[in-house]
Amino acid sequence: MSVDYEIRRFEPAAKDDPAYPQSVAWMRAVAFGFHDARRTDERVDTSIELQRTDRRVMTGVYQTGTVAGHSLGADVPVATFGTMNKTLNIGFGRLLDTRLVTAVTVRTSHRRRGLLRRMMGEDLALAREEGLAMAALTASEASIYGRFGFGVATSEQAVKVDTTARFRLNHLPLGSVEVADPKVLLELAPDVFDRVHRSTPGSIGRHEFYRQFASGSVSRDGGEDPKVKVALHYGPGGDVDGYVSYRFAGWSSTPYTMEVVDLVAATGAAYLELWQYLGAIDLVERITWEEAPVDDPLRWALEDARCVESSAARDMLWLRILDVRQALEARHYPADGQLVLKVADSLGLTGGTFAVEVDGGTAAVTAVGSGAPGIRTPDLRTPDLELDVAALSAMYLGGVNPVTLAASGRIVEHAPGAAFRAARMFAVERTPHCLTHF
């Protein structure tokens, strides 16, 4: 049976709006796509309310012709695609408005007909028209998004930390830690996170879900999570500059384990002191954290670094430059230099050859031979580096060394030493890490 489709884009409706059922059907389709149990009406209402707070846009693909008898109706989208705009820390405290892509699903009976390609292509073009230079997502599978120009810009790892007598941190506390009612995070979490966001390359501004999640008001499975406990860190001046939200894995966990739900620390001292607190919890011998940084100061602060058992690094934030000139000019560069980059873009959004001249940490980026009035047109030169927009997006935050990308064949280095020059220019002040899953 041949099927025709139409794409609809809409904002989540308020409960008393006649368009509300469209938002409900979309939310249910997303849950179905991720194999979730059927959600209660109350849970769907809560999710839609969160989406409204984040000013998300829901995109759905709908069947326009006859729908198979007894199957889900034409009002239920066969594909979903969610978006919202947040800021991305691009190093040295600079924030760049970014399109976040989420809730990507295609119903199995309609897959591999180009629906994802259509939704992605249209939305990235739309984001660029809106003036955004960057898009971001997190991926369920690593094989899907490279073809659309996304590259892995940050990684994370799961850790299991042995907190028996071996756990000793070489750190003299500067502040203090105290237990609080988890609900205080509804008020405190956004401010603490904002400080982290402004000082962490790779950080994505958080959506409403997080303060609810960290405070145990909402769990990933819906409803309250009464197991969540919270400790706050107070800096030397008495201000709250960090928190950890955690839950006990139960008396059947071996060894007895505490799971970190969210750990946000605005200073190095707050981070170590929250770990000192976790390490001191009686009756517990292990702390686990699914979203630890790959470059973790904890390991270096421990007397016995082998207390930390980590998984392999996993891709976390995928970036996609939508406008090379705008994205490169937005950054600060710790090293001056010049590079000519030939960038391929199969979606045709921002490919071309660009001369990047960094002086005093600021880049002037020119499309080579563009001849546009008021723009300097450099000599047509052989590019120093030739690469796909996915590779440029991956190295944009310094999370992968361009020398490594050249060795992997993802970058062709025409001028010897250019990849190393790019490595110095694109470095950021600390290893990028993203604490926000979306």
Q: Which is nearer to ligand COA, 88 or 278 (CB)?
A: 88
Which residues, in sequence order, are bridge partners of residue 15?
A: none
Given the rule CB under 6 A, which of 138-146, 166-174, 199-207, 222-230 is the region that contacts ligand COA? 138-146
- The answer to whether residue 78 forms part of the interface with ligand COA (CB under 6 A) is no
**How many CB atoms are located within 10 Å of the residue 182 CB?**
24
- Candidate list 5, 23, 29, 33; residue touching ligand COA; CB under 6 A: 33
Site membership for ligand COA, residue 142 (CB under 6 A): no
Q: Any residues with CB less than 8 A from the CB of 344 and at least 6 apart, and which?
A: 351, 386, 387, 388, 389
Residues 112 and 232: their CA atoms lie apart, in Å, by 48
> What are the tokens at 293?
């940084």
Total site size for ligand COA, rule CB under 6 A: 17
Nearest alpha carbon to residue 177 among 229, 237, 244 = 244
Quote the CA–CA distance of 362 and 234 in Å, as a whole number.
Answer: 37
Regarding 147 and contact with ligand COA (CB under 6 A), the answer is yes
User: Which of 57, 58, 100, 116 lies at the binding interface for ligand COA (CB under 6 A)?
Assistant: 116
CB 33 → ligand COA: shortest distance, Å?
Answer: 5
Among residues 114 and 369, whose Cβ is nearest to ligand COA? 114
Neighbours of 16 (CB within 10 A): 6
Structure tokens at 434: 């993203």
Residue 61 contacts ligand COA per CB under 6 A = no
141 binds ligand COA (CB under 6 A): yes
- Residue 314 interacts with ligand COA (CB under 6 A)? no
Choice from 96, 124, 139, 284 touching ligand COA (CB under 6 A): 139
Q: Which is nearer to ligand COA, 26 or 277 (CB)?
A: 26
Q: Does 140 contact ligand COA by CB under 6 A?
A: yes
Among 125, 144, 180, 367, binds ligand COA (CB under 6 A): 144
**H or E stretch covering 179:** strand 176-180
Of 113, 314, 414, 424, the one binding ligand COA (CB under 6 A) is: 113
Is 125 one of the binding residues for ligand COA (CB under 6 A)? no
Q: Letter for the amino acid at 94?
A: R
What is the sign, positive or negative, of the torsion defined by CA atoms of 336, 342, 344, 350?
positive
Question: Which residues have C-beta within 8 Å of that of residue 155, sequence separation ≥ 6?
Answer: 294, 313, 314, 315, 316, 399
**By the criterion CB under 6 A, which residues form the site for ligand COA?**
33, 104-106, 111-117, 139-141, 143-144, 147
